[in-house]
Structure 1
Amino acid sequence: MTGREDDVLARAAVAALTGQLALAPKPGLPDPRDLAARVTRRDHCGMRWSAKALTPGLAAMAAAARRTGEPSPRLRAELGAIGRCTEHSVGLAGGGHRGALWTLGLLVAAAALDPRARGAEVAATAKRIAAHPDRGAPRRPSRGSTVSAKYGAAGARGEARAGFPHVRRALDALAKARSAGAGEAEARLDALLTVMSTLQDTELLHTAGPLGLRHVQSGARGVLDAGGAATRAGAAALDALDADLHARAWSPRGSAGLLAGALFVDSLPPAPARAA
């Protein structure tokens, strides 16, 4: 791979993130409708702007993977250092996307490490990277790790070390919805709901507790059981869930970041042919 290809991977990851932001209606999550509401306009615009600030860091992660050549402790440490610098840059640009940076950073590095990998293969390579501890990480526990320990949830770290099962589930949901004739936006919403229906989202556990998490998971399953976003009944159920979560101020942010990861993996072009 070349430096240009590292940049291409980074831009594809940011496009996946902004594509996730563009979906509507996303239950409890910012979407383009917020642009018409003065109270949230700055938040949503800022999230789109700050997403672009991820590009240099993600390109650096791809370059580190290409240079290292294997999912080693050295690569894991380098990705952690780049990630912390990128968090600082994103903070200057408006903040947000910490969970998406973790997911996209590992997947971008995995795609750079194994250019022929696609789909679940990318997630499997990311798992091998995440298996190593980040020895340079701050010793103070994060809110996510504290919530994970309290409730026994896998959290972002557990999701990565398991090979991103919810990214894989989202990829399967995208393929299923598309094959059933759903439009691209509806297929992506169904993928989001598929993640929401089973993910132990630490953000929801923090704000709503276990009962709130189960409420959100049940609501997401209800939309899918009604036929998904592409059907009249499913769309009505989605609107009801969206109104409910916004009223409660519950936000499934972990699901949004994992959907962005799935959209990135889904966007990778067909693998280059292997030499004979």
Structure 2
Amino acid sequence: MIWNDAIQCSHYLSQLAVAALIEEAELTPKPGLVDQQNSGAHTDLTLEMMIRSAQALQTTFANIAYIAFQREPSQQLREEIAKIGRCGEKVMFETTGGINTHKGAIWALGLLVASAAMHKPGTPSKEIASTAGRIASYPDRYAPQQMSNGLKVQQRYGVPGARGEAQHGFPHVIHIALPTLHKARQNNIPETLARIDALISLIAYLDDTCILHRGGMEALITAKKLAKAIISVGGVSTSEGWNGLLQLDQELLTRNASPGGSADLLAAALFLDRLYQETANQSNKCVTMTM
């Protein structure tokens, strides 16, 4: 895929972002999260609602890619992206009847879509994430002066949260989720299990503000401990790891906690993974054809 203009680029990247959100939602089973089996700790959500919400955001991601196409990080661009993102949140709430399905994902994927539109196809994921971090580091002077649940948790527990993750170039995506996904594939682990392993790795190391908001520090510590135990026995493709996954799910449900932040970062990882695979392969084909 070599995009020739902003329209082509925005169409492609928005489709990829929506696909990543749907693939994350449909991944089953996921501990404490909405999937094809149940709604996890989210009694107000369904898989069908998650999919409708993701599809409704395609225009949002397309508009972000369009205005970011071949630009450089700047204060103005940061605020233009934020304005589009807030419009996207309104669309989301209208689609879901006021339920928050993808607010965190709009932030994370919006920044990555913008960054991808600024770079040439085939740019490594780490560079795209780094540029997204540069965009996120500019303040949004027009942001509503209200305290979100995520910001309350950040202040209470002193964790980086979604904002810190983005500003640092999505380290949990680049250094944890993607390497876990790639290693599992190299070991011939089925794709579904490889993606669950990537999610488990995020739960193990991320200070997930969604878990903190719903279950407090004790829930976060417990979730991390159980996730690391799954990793230590070789992941969910092993019988011990699978049993550990079921235990983690039950523990989260008991505490009414959900690793929503980890789910958002898994979607980000799936987006970057597919983007690099498709654009790098296409670029290589184009080089071969011209030699």
Cα offset for 1:122? 1.1
Partners in 2 of 1:228 and 1:203 — Cα distance? 23
1:7 Cα deviation from its structure 2 partner: 1.1
1:170 aligns with 2:177: yes
Q: 1:145 to 1:41 in 2, by over 3 A?
A: closer
Aligned partners of 1:34 and 1:40 also within 8 Å: no
Equivalent residues in 2 for 1:50-61, closer than 5 Å: 50-61=53-64
Which of 77, 90, 93 does residue 92 from structure 2 map onto? 90
Query: Which one of the candidate residues 16, 19, 23 is aligned to 1:15?
Result: 19
Aligned to 1:115: 120
1:33 matched to 2:42: no
Per-residue deviation, 1:48: 1.3
Identity percentage of aligned residues: 42
| Structure 2 residue corresponding to 1:2, chosen from 3, 6, 14 | 6
Contact 1:27 1:241 in 2 (8 A): yes
Aligned CA RMSD, in angstroms, stands at 2.0
1:76 aligned residue: 78
- Contact 2:125/2:273, CA 8 A, preserved across alignment: yes
Task: Say if 2:224 is the partner of 1:180.
Answer: no
How far apart, CA to CA, are the structure 2 residues paired with 1:233 and 1:143? 35
Q: Would the aligned equivalents of 1:34 and 1:41 in 2 still touch at CA under 8 Å? A: no
Q: 2:244 — aligned with what?
A: 237
The amino acid of 1:264's aligned partner reads F
Per the TM alignment, residue 248 of structure 1 is displaced from its structure 2 partner at its CA by 2.3
Of 115, 132, 135, the residue aligned with 2:138 is: 132
Could you tell me how far apart the structure 2 residues matched to 1:149 and 1:202 are?
11
**Counterpart secondary structure, 1:93:** helix
Identify the residue that residue 49 of structure 1 maps to in structure 2.
Answer: 52
Deviation at 1:109, TM superposition (A): 0.5
| Separation in structure 2 between the aligned mates of residue 161 and residue 41 of structure 1, nearest angstrom | 31
Cα-to-partner distance string for 1:133-186 (whole Å, 9 max, x where unaligned) = 111111222121121011110011000011001111211110111111111001
Q: Which runs of 5+ in 2 are unaligned?
A: none
**2: CA distance, partners of 1:81 / 1:159:** 20
> What is the deviation of 1:240?
1.7
Rounded to whole Å, the distance in 1 between the matches of 2:132 and 2:45 is 34
- Distance in 2, Cα, partners of 1:239 & 1:111: 36
Distance in 1 (CA, whole Å) between partners of 2:32 and 2:163 is 23
Find 1:106's aligned residue among 105, 111, 116: 111
Q: Is the 8 A contact 1:119 1:171 kept in 2?
A: no
Query: Gaps spanning 5+ residues in structure 1: where?
Result: none
TM-score, scaled to structure 1: 0.94
CA contact (8 A) 2:34 2:45 kept: no
Deviation string 1:19-71 (CA, Å, 9 cap, x unpaired) is 01111111100100128x9x95962211111111110000000011116x111
Structure 1 residue 113 displacement after superposition: 0.6
User: Per-residue CA shift, 1:231-255, capped at 9, x if unaligned?
Assistant: 1221111112112212321101000
Q: How far 1:209 moved relative to its partner?
A: 1.4
| Alpha-carbon separation, structure 1, partners of 2:245 and 2:45 | 25
Aligned to 1:270: 279
